[in-house]
């Protein structure tokens, strides 16, 4: 944080703008931020290109009706959510592990404001990155399709919505990571909880109950509701799924914010 921002905070003349400026300086100064964002971009584009390069033209009326190259090209969202979610966890648990959380809360005694600033800065960055990388992945993956495979277009029904919501999904997972990090305050346990919530639990539930319960978990929503242009049976509709994700995010941040206020640093 700059001396001016710190002085304003200490004197009580601070608000969201000053707190957000402090969070932005901290976030961009971490090398892990750059590495994680680069890995997200490279990993998602690579997965999209490889998936589309191996996509073959459908044969038969049933396969043609269910063929969804938009969903194929966005396969890298599965990797991107893990990286962005873990980075969201580190935004807050990294300060607890290093002890700098005390300095942050000394500079911004209003703890809810401090958390809001983290959410605004990281959420904004994750949203911009998510939209840029999903559009880049879509365009690069489409170019990798074989000539005989139907190529999706942003002008096709529901394709633009699928790309936009997939980018937004990455930002929501990043905010979930912040919420879980604020709840646990430990990096390993927070990332473990996030991975369990995103991958382990829905896979286990899908094995026992099919999509009955699993369809309400983020990864299933992303893969079968948000990133599709062809509707999938027995899953949430895109906008209902998006609403569920927003509820998850709001609930985790609300619990994390309450615990941040009530517990000692």
H-helix segments, the chain: 3-10, 16-29, 31-53, 61-66, 69-73, 77-98, 101-107, 111-143, 159-184, 187-195, 201-209, 211-214, 218-221, 238-262
Q: Is residue 219 part of a domain?
A: yes
The answer to whether 232 touches 224, Cβ cutoff 8 Å, is: yes
Number of domains in the chain: 1
Q: Is residue 36 part of a domain?
A: yes
Q: Is residue 139 part of a domain?
A: yes
Residues shown for the chain: 265
Distance between alpha carbon 99 and the CA centroid of its chain, in Å? 26
Residue 4 has pLDDT above 70, yes or no: no
Q: Is residue 138 part of a domain?
A: yes
Residue for token pair 């648990």: 93
The pTM (predicted TM-score) of the whole model is 0.92
Q: Is residue 5 part of a domain?
A: no
Residue-wise pLDDT for 38-76, tens only, equals 999 999 999 999 999 999 988 887 688 889 999 999 999
Whole-number mean pLDDT of the chain?
Answer: 92
Q: Is residue 79 part of a domain?
A: yes
Q: Is residue 74 part of a domain?
A: yes
Q: Is residue 7 part of a domain?
A: no
Supply the pLDDT for residue 265.
Answer: 72
Most confident of 5-14, 18-27, 173-182: 173-182
Domain encompassing residue 22: 16-53+66-262
């Amino acid at each position: 944080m700059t001396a001016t921002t710190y002085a304003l905070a200490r004197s009580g003349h601070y608000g969201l703008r000053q707190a957000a400026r402090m969070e932005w300086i901290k976030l961009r100064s971490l090398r892990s931020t750059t590495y994680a964002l680069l890995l997200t971009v490279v990993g998602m584009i690579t997965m999209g290109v490889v998936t589309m390069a191996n996509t073959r033209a459908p044969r038969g009326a049933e396969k043609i009706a269910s063929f969804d190259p938009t969903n194929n090209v966005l396969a890298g969202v599965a990797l991107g959510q893990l990286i962005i979610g873990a980075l969201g966890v580190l935004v807050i648990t990294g300060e607890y592990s290093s002890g700098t959380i005390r300095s942050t809360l000394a500079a911004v005694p209003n703890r809810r404001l401090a958390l809001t600033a983290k959410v605004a800065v990281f959420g904004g960055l994750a949203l911009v990155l998510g939209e840029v990388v999903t559009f880049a992945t879509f365009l690069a993956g489409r170019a990798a399709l074989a000539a005989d495979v139907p190529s999706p277009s942003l002008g096709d029904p529901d394709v633009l919505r699928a790309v936009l919501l997939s980018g937004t999904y990455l930002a929501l997972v990043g905010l979930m990571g912040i919420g879980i990090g604020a709840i646990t305050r430990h990096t390993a346990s927070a990332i473990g909880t996030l991975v369990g919530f995103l991958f382990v639990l829905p896979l286990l539930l899908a094995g026992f109950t099919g999509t009955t319960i699993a369809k309400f978990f983020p990864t299933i929503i992303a893969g079968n509701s948000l990133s599709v242009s062809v509707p999938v049976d027995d899953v949430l509709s895109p906008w209902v799924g998006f609403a569920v994700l927003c509820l998850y995010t709001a609930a985790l941040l609300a619990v994390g914010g309450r615990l941040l206020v009530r517990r000692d640093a």
